[in-house]
Structures are given as structure tokens and as C-alpha cells.
Amino acid sequence: MGIIERIKEIEAEMARTQKNKATEYHLGQLKAKIAKLRTQLLEPPKGSSAGGDGFEVTKFGHGRVALIGFPSVGKSTLLTMLTGTHSEAASYEFTTLTCIPGIIHYNDTKIQLLDLPGIIEGASEGKGRGRQVIAVAKSSDLVLMVLDASKSEGHRQILTRELESVGLRLNKRPPQIYFKKKKTGGISFNSTLPLTHVDEKLCYQILHEYKIHNAEVLFREDATVDDLIDVIEGNRKYIKCVYVYNKIDVIGIDDVDKLARRPNSVLNLDRLLSKMWEEMGLVRVYTKPQGQQPDFSDPVVLSADRGGCTVEDFCNHIHRNLIKDVKYVLVWGTSARHYPQHCGLGHVLQDEDVVQIVKKKV
């Protein structure tokens, strides 16, 4: 029996099992088995190179955004409108068969936008070019899920399920669970608050399913069984997602109003760019040479997802050896209490701050 068949069999068993206190341990073990099998499914076949027939493109710019959606929902048209890059668009499905990159110039930054082939149901199992599409999405800083407004809820659920089954967690933060394998000492289970979803016995059973018999587990929040499995697997990607609704002219004004009120939803092009900027959390920092005016033409762009936004990250971005020569740093901007403020390496910079680095005298 293949991996996909085994996953289907376990899913059928979970569907048959009633959810109650007596079956929660059994269901927890089944969830762990499915997670292990899905991890195996994503591994390249033995004897083959890791590269395969993917269509990864070189990272460029200050951030990367992936367009994901069903075939013929308007991804190619959106890429052309935002970047000017031509991506073939037609009324038939699967017009785009490979990854087409474009560059958005916004707020003095360059954001790479990738038009990916349409995802179909079963993509996580390798149908269509689903695995390659999802692999590129994993390397992105933001996902734009393009949805047909007339089929939005059904398509949204299918796409979210396909992405979650391969370890992509949309608009979620990592669970507050400390987990560390040990060589000896058995399993140490602790929590800083009462737990309602997981107890010590269930934790032990899931760890034994992974053949882990020595580990330290500390819950800092009331997490679920799925959260615990995610932490044990350790290969999950937590990524922000913005839902872009196309073809809104085919639905009524009441439905448009409902879509507009959903979190992380965008219905017009003007709002889309500002929403992308907001979700990616890009920070522009301008340099000021000693005795000169600040240079506002070419900012250093930082982000929490790409290294961090502290003064130390700023110095490393300019040159990795610069940090050794820094005597102190002067900062002007919203992160400073007064102008200029003497700051240390741990000071967190904010968008449009101006920084002057004062070096040690030789």
C-alpha cells in the first residue's frame, strides 16, 4: 500500500471514530501517523536529486510574494497590472505552466511577485504541479490567495487544506510550546497554565508514535494536539496570507460587503499594495554620513522575517564586519525618544528612521 492510500485509510478511520473523551487518545495517535506520512510524501524519492523538475526562481528584491489560486481566477492578469510583466492570460484553464516572476516598485522597495500555475484539489498529493507550486510558496514572505468571488468560500477552504497538509500555516503564529529531545532522562512534561486539549498521557502517546522516549516538553499556552505535532515535526512554515477577490461584479452588493469585512481580505487594486506592505512589515532605514544630509534615495530595507530590524541587523546588512568598528549609533525617527538618540545594537528600528554610525577612532 502506497503512502497516499495509507493516508486515505487513516482519514477514513478518523471520520468513522466518534469524538469524545474516550477516543481522544486514539485520534491523537492517528493525527500523528498522518503527519508522519505526509512528511514522507514530500521527501524526494530515494536515488533522485533534490532538485527535480521544480521551477524555483532566484530570490530578488526586498521581499517575495506568491500568487496562489485555482486555474483561471485572474493571477496572470493581476501580475501584469502590478508589475507590467506579461503573463499569458486566456479563458481556458492552466494557461500558466511555469513560474513567471515580476517586480513591484513600491515605497522605494522592490518586491518580487511570482505568478504560479493554478492549484487543483489533491495538489499536496502531487496532482497537477501542486508540489512545485507549494514549494515556491514556502520560500515566499507572503501569499496572495486569488479567489473567484462567486466560489470564494469553497475554493478558500480547499486551498487552505492543501497548503496546511504540506506544512504551510496561513495567518497563524508558531505554538508557544518548548520542545527539546534529550539522550536520557525520559519525558519531562510541564505547563504554565491549565490545559484543556492535551494531557500528559496524550503527549506521551504522540511522542512514542515518533519513537521519542527522552524529551522535555513545556506548554506556555493551551495548545491543541495539532499544535504539538507541528512542533515535533519542526518543518512548518508560518506565513501571512492576503485573500484577493476577483470577479466581484458577478455577485450582489450584500455579498461584496460580507467579503470586504473578512479579515485579510482585499477587493480593489489600490488597497492591495498597501495591504501587502503592511503584512510584510518592511522597514526602510536611511543612512546619514557624518556632517552630511541623509541619503533618501536608496534605503536599507529590513524585515523581521529576513534577519530582523535592530541596529545590529542594519550594520550587518551594510557589511558583516562593520559591527566591530561601531562606537555608537545616532537615530532620528519614530523609534527615537528624542532627536538624535544615542542607541545600542539592540535598538529596534522603525520605518523611515535615519541612522548615523559613528566608528571607533583607530
Q: Please name the residues in contact with 74: beta carbons below 8 A apart, sequence gap of 6 or more.
A: 89, 146, 246, 247
* Three-state secondary-structure class, residue 50: coil
Distance from CA of residue 81 to its chain's centroid?
A: 24
Q: Which long-range contacts (CB under 8 A, 24 or more apart) does 5-11 make?
A: 6/37, 7/34, 7/37, 7/38, 7/41, 10/34, 10/37
Taking only the tens place, the pLDDT of each residue in 183-197 is 999 999 999 999 999
How far CA 175 is from CA of 28, 146, 209, 266, in Å, comes to 17, 27, 20, 27
Taking only the tens place, the pLDDT of each residue in 48-95 is 544 444 566 788 889 999 998 888 888 888 888 888 876 655 444 444
pLDDT at position 163 is 85
pLDDT at position 56 is 64
Alpha helical stretches, state H, the chain: 3-16, 24-42, 75-83, 130-138, 152-165, 200-209, 225-233, 253-261, 269-280, 311-318
Q: Looking at 51-65, 227-241, 252-266, 312-326, which range is the least confident one?
A: 51-65
Same domain, 212 and 327: no
Same domain, 74 and 125: yes
Q: Mean pLDDT in the chain?
A: 85
For the domain that residue 352 is a member of, what is the CATH number? 3.10.20.30
Phi, psi of 218 (to 5 degrees): -130, 120
pLDDT at position 52 is 45
Confidence (pTM): 0.83
Indicate whether 52 belongs to any domain.
no
Q: Looking at 5-19, 42-56, 218-232, which range is the least confident one?
A: 42-56
Indicate whether 115 belongs to any domain.
yes
pLDDT at position 87 is 63
Same domain, 211 and 319: no
**C-alpha atoms less than 13 angstroms from C-alpha of 29 in its C-beta half-sphere:** 12
Share of the chain above pLDDT 70, in %: 89
Q: Answer yes or no: is pLDDT of 40 > 70.
A: yes
* Rounded Cα gap, residues 283 and 294, in angstroms: 16
Same domain, 260 and 125: yes
Domain span at 66: 61-170+235-278
Same domain, 139 and 254: yes
Indicate whether 101 belongs to any domain.
yes
Same domain, 139 and 239: yes
Same domain, 104 and 144: yes
* Rounded Cα gap, residues 167 and 213, in angstroms: 24
For 121, other C-beta atoms within 10 Å of its C-beta total: 15
* Rounded Cα gap, residues 34 and 206, in angstroms: 12
Indicate whether 51 belongs to any domain.
no
* Amino acid residing at 244: V
Alpha helical stretches, state H, 43-127: 75-83
**pLDDT band per the 50, 70, 90 thresholds, residue 7:** confident
Same domain, 288 and 341: yes
Same domain, 311 and 334: yes
Same domain, 251 and 307: no
All three cell numbers of 323, joined, read 559591527
Same domain, 289 and 265: no
pLDDT at position 187 is 93
* Rounded Cα gap, residues 68 and 80, in angstroms: 15
Same domain, 135 and 260: yes
Domain count, the chain: 3
Beta-bridged to residue 359, according to DSSP, are 326
**pLDDT band per the 50, 70, 90 thresholds, residue 145:** very high
All three cell numbers of 265, joined, read 481580505
Taking only the tens place, the pLDDT of each residue in 263-315 is 999 988 888 999 999 999 999 999 999 889 998 988 999 998 888 999 999 99
